[in-house]
Amino acid sequence: MATSDWTDRRREAIRRTLEQRAGDTPDASRVAAATLSLWHQATTRLKPVIGTGGLDALYGRSLQLTATAFPWLAIGVEGEEITAPLASLRRRLEAIDPVAAAQASVALLVTVTDLLATLVGESLTERLLGPIWTPPAQASELEIPS
């Protein structure tokens, strides 16, 4: 499967998962909570593989790249944002329109997985993070290359 196909499928799976977790009528606070919940699940799965430093670098770079499309996500130089980046992300997502918060969240999570795929490959990325984006009933339907 081509890389863009993986990205498109991943984007759709992430969007559906975020939408499901945020609820039927999400507000920005629920979108932020769902985004951070997904990030925490990802860190639990990735930390043994890439370590804390790798997670910090992956998150930081993903946020930087995503901020090109969503400038309000850009990390400033204030100490609080550097020491508590997830709290800063939560505040930024909660302060914006829910639709824009959801779009930025999907973009950020897709960027995380795309960057990870460039580092460890599509197959390992899908094995590590695929279960987060794919409900158990649909897991068997995915084509995962061996």
Residue at 144 is within a domain: no
Please compute the mean of the pLDDT values over residues 106-131 and round it to a whole number. Answer: 93
Q: Is the pLDDT of residue 123 over 60?
A: yes
- The total number of structural domains that make up the chain: 1
In contact, 31 and 40? CB cutoff 8 Å: no
d(C-alpha 45, C-alpha 48), whole Å = 7
**Percent of the chain residues topping a pLDDT of 90:** 60
Residue at 46 is within a domain: yes
pLDDT at 134: 73
Q: Is the pLDDT of residue 79 over 50?
A: no
CA distances from 107 to 62, 91, 138 (A): 9, 17, 22
Please compute the mean of the pLDDT values over residues 78-98 and round it to a whole number. Answer: 76
pTM attached to this predicted model:
0.82
Residue at 82 is within a domain: yes
Q: Is the pLDDT of residue 145 over 60?
A: no
Q: Is the pLDDT of residue 141 over 80?
A: no
Residue at 142 is within a domain: no
Q: Which domain holds residue 81?
A: 3-134
